[in-house]
């Protein structure tokens, strides 16, 4: 029990001591009335000692919403001899709020009654504001990290995970709470998992940066054990301790897209070669069949002439000529069969999203177009839906038309490629427009015939193959000049349905 006595020193000396310290000190009676109010309190609140003495502290200094709580703490302080600690707001004379951390001690007289409560305060307004600002700053930085499209993982120099972004949770399949404090090697497959601690130890010992500051392809591992390709970029900074930040980009989808595009490109090239061979074979068969027929007729005529001559040596020649006619007819039949075979090659159809097919084909056809200054504009209608078609063959048509359009704009001052799809009645229309010189008038009528080309190095089978493919799909293909300049190639296909799926000749 502490006893208050001013027998040895005067009250004015006590007042001088209280006023000297920079800590706010108030001496309160058992009823909460202010008995002492030091200079630090005056500077804090703006109230003078004369304005504060004799008034209860909760009548003018405590904010309204905390009055009841302060009363309860004060009552508890008076009831016990143990110090109490709490935090609350005081109102200043100007109406501002100051956050104070209080330490209170009850002082008793010789009879044990409460003589006063000594209250000392620490103004923590700025400290709490700084803490709040820091918290907000950390929350802001965290929101930025969580908004990152790549996984962000931070570790210390002991390889322990310090933070794990939202995308990291998605990429690796772990919750942040499950990995904090764990070794980052849980995100790696072997052999990197077994070697990672040695990597960090070597860096800390030598300072040699083999990974830091440069991007490299690595293998990472999800919580399921699935290993996937990733691009890793590591940086470091110091925040009381050395921290390493890893940015991990999942390359699975990207590599799958590249693989799919590569496969599609190979299939298109193969289909193009086969189509070109077919067109060439058909044309050659057509051209050869006429002279072969003529040769057979001539040989037959010679044979008839010799038969009429009725000479002894003519019989052997007639037999040989008949064999010649027979072989010529057999060769003609072979060529005819080959021509029919090429014409009747099967088209494997199934339902496909037209826009997706156009986009995939264009992705290959426009590679390098931006370097030539070609601007690509898309106008794909959302209602085109699916069509029963041979995906590879239609992509071959789209690719051919786009490449032709890009080639046509090689010398054009403005190079704009417009790719469009539309649904019209029961047909789907695909258009490829350019801003080139337009159609060659001399070639306009024979544009889709084999071996017709406006290109110096072209063999003239691309548009012929495209027409053959569209004809096989019961569609039409056409070309027209645009009033604004350039030309547009358009083909249409019957709108698809489940009944139209299958193998069609």
| Number of domains into which the chain is organized | 4
Give me the pLDDT at residue 495, please: 82
Token pair 């070794």 is found at 183
Contact between residue 87 and residue 100 where contact means Cβ atoms under 8 Å apart: yes
What distance in Å separates the CA atoms of residue 26 and residue 48, rounded to the nearest whole number? 13
Share of the chain above pLDDT 90, in %: 23
What distance in Å separates the CA atoms of residue 341 and residue 336, rounded to the nearest whole number? 9
What distance in Å separates the CA atoms of residue 332 and residue 335, rounded to the nearest whole number? 5
What distance in Å separates the CA atoms of residue 119 and residue 86, rounded to the nearest whole number? 11
Same domain, residue pair 261 and 143? no
What distance in Å separates the CA atoms of residue 343 and residue 279, rounded to the nearest whole number? 9
Q: Which residues pair with 353 in a beta bridge?
A: 386
Among the candidates 223, 250, 277, a domain finishes at 250
What distance in Å separates the CA atoms of residue 91 and residue 97, rounded to the nearest whole number? 5
> In Å, how far from its chain's centre is CA 329?
64
Share of the chain above pLDDT 70, in %: 78
Structural domain contains residue 5: no
Look up residue 256 and give its two tokens.
């799958």
Give DSSP secondary structure letters for 225-291: S-EEEEEEEEEEEESSSEEEEEEEEE-HHHHHHHHHHHHHHHHHHHHHHHHHHHHHHHHHHHHHHHH
Same domain, residue pair 310 and 238? no
Among the candidates 104, 123, 142, a domain finishes at 123
CATH code at position 173: 3.30.450.20
Strand (E) or helix (H) holding 144: helix 125-147
Structural domain contains residue 236: yes
pLDDT one-digit tens code per residue, 343-392: 555 567 888 899 998 998 888 788 778 878 899 999 999 888 888 888 87
Same domain, residue pair 325 and 240? no
Mean pLDDT of the chain: 80
314-343 and 252-309 helices cross at what angle (nearest 10)?
A: 160
Same domain, residue pair 365 and 430? yes
DSSP structure class, residue 22: S
Q: Does 72 have pLDDT greater than 60?
A: yes
Same domain, residue pair 239 and 282? no
**Across residues 20-28, what is the average pLDDT?**
85
Same domain, residue pair 415 and 498? yes
What distance in Å separates the CA atoms of residue 183 and residue 161, rounded to the nearest whole number? 6
Same domain, residue pair 464 and 337? no
Same domain, residue pair 331 and 356? no
Structural domain contains residue 411: yes
Give me the pLDDT at residue 173, please: 93
Query: Between these two residues, 413 and 307, which has the higher pLDDT value?
Result: 413
Same domain, residue pair 89 and 114? yes
Structure confidence at residue 253 as a pLDDT band (50, 70, 90): confident
Same domain, residue pair 340 and 355? no
Structural domain contains residue 209: yes
Structural domain contains residue 6: no
Structural domain contains residue 244: yes
Listed in sequence order, the residues at least 6 apart from 204 whose beta carbon sits closer than 8 Å to its beta carbon are 157
Same domain, residue pair 413 and 371? yes
Q: Does 490 have pLDDT greater than 60?
A: yes
CATH code at position 487: 3.30.565.10
What distance in Å separates the CA atoms of residue 144 and residue 137, rounded to the nearest whole number? 11
Give me the pLDDT at residue 504, please: 43
Structural domain contains residue 369: yes
Give DSSP secondary structure letters for 38-50: -HHHHHHHS--HH
Among the candidates 123, 158, 175, a domain finishes at 123
Token pair 């569609």 is found at 475
Structural domain contains residue 231: yes
Sign of CA dihedral 75, 77, 78, 80: positive
CATH code at position 295: 1.10.287.130
Give me the pLDDT at residue 20, please: 76
What distance in Å separates the CA atoms of residue 487 and residue 480, rounded to the nearest whole number? 6
What distance in Å separates the CA atoms of residue 187 and residue 407, rounded to the nearest whole number? 48
Beta strands in 134-241 (DSSP E): 151-156, 161-164, 215-221, 227-238
Structure confidence at residue 449 as a pLDDT band (50, 70, 90): confident
Give me the pLDDT at residue 347, please: 61
Domain that holds residue 329: 254-344
**Across residues 148-164, what is the average pLDDT?**
88
Q: Which residues pair with 431 in a beta bridge?
A: 420, 490
What distance in Å separates the CA atoms of residue 305 and residue 326, rounded to the nearest whole number? 17
Same domain, residue pair 231 and 283? no
């Amino acid at each position: 029990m502490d006893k208050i006595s001013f027998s040895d020193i005067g009250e004015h000396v006590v007042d001088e001591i209280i006023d000297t310290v920079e800590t706010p000190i108030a001496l309160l009676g058992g009823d909460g009335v202010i008995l002492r109010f030091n200079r630090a309190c005056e500077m804090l609140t703006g109230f003078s000692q004369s304005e504060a003495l004799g008034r209860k502290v909760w009548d003018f200094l405590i904010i309204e919403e905390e009055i009841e709580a302060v009363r309860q703490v004060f009552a508890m302080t008076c009831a016990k001899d143990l110090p109490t600690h709490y935090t609350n707001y005081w109102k200043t004379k100007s109406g501002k709020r100051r956050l104070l951390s209080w330490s209170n001690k009850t002082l008793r007289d010789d009879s044990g009654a409460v003589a006063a409560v000594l209250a000392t305060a620490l103004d923590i307004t700025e400290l709490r504001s700084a803490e709040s600002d820091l918290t907000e700053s950390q929350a802001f930085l965290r929101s930025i990290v969580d908004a990152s499209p790549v996984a962000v993982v931070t570790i210390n120099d002991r390889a322990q995970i310090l933070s794990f972004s939202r995308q990291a949770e998605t990429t690796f399949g772990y919750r942040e709470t499950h990995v904090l404090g764990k070794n980052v090697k849980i995100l790696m497959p072997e052999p990197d998992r077994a070697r990672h601690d040695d990597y960090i130890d070597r860096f800390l010992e030598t300072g040699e940066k083999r990974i830091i500051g440069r991007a490299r392809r690595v293998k990472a591992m999800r919580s399921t054990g699935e290993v996937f390709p990733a691009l890793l970029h590591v940086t470091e900074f110091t925040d009381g301790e050395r921290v390493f930040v890893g940015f991990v980009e999942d390359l699975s989808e990207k590599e799958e897209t590249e693989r799919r595009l590569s496969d599609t490109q190979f299939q298109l090239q193969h289909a193009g070669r086969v189509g070109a061979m077919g067109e060439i074979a058909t044309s050659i068969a057509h051209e050869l069949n006429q002279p072969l027929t003529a040769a057979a007729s001539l040989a037959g005529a010679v044979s008839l002439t010799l038969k009429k001559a009725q000479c002894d040596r003519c019989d052997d020649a007639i037999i040989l000529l008949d064999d010649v006619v027979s072989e010529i007819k057999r060769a003609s039949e072979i060529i005819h069969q080959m021509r029919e075979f090429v014409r009747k090659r099967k088209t494997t159809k199934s339902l496909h999203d037209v826009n997706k097919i156009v986009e995939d084909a264009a992705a290959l056809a426009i590679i390098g177009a931006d370097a030539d200054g070609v601007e690509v504009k898309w106008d794909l209608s959302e209602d085109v839906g699916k069509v029963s078609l041979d995906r590879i063959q239609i992509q071959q048509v789209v690719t051919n038309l786009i490449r032709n359009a890009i080639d046509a704009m090689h010398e054009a001052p403005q190079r704009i490629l417009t790719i469009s799809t539309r649904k019209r009645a029961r047909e789907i229309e695909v258009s490829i427009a350019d801003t080139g010189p337009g159609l060659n008038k001399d070639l306009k009528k024979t544009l889709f015939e084999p071996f017709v080309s406006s290109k110096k190095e072209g063999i003239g089978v691309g548009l012929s193959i495209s027409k053959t493919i569209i004809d096989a799909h019961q569609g039409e293909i056409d070309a027209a000049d645009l009033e604004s300049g350039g030309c547009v190639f358009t083909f249409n296909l019957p709108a698809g349905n489940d009944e139209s799926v299958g193998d069609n000749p």
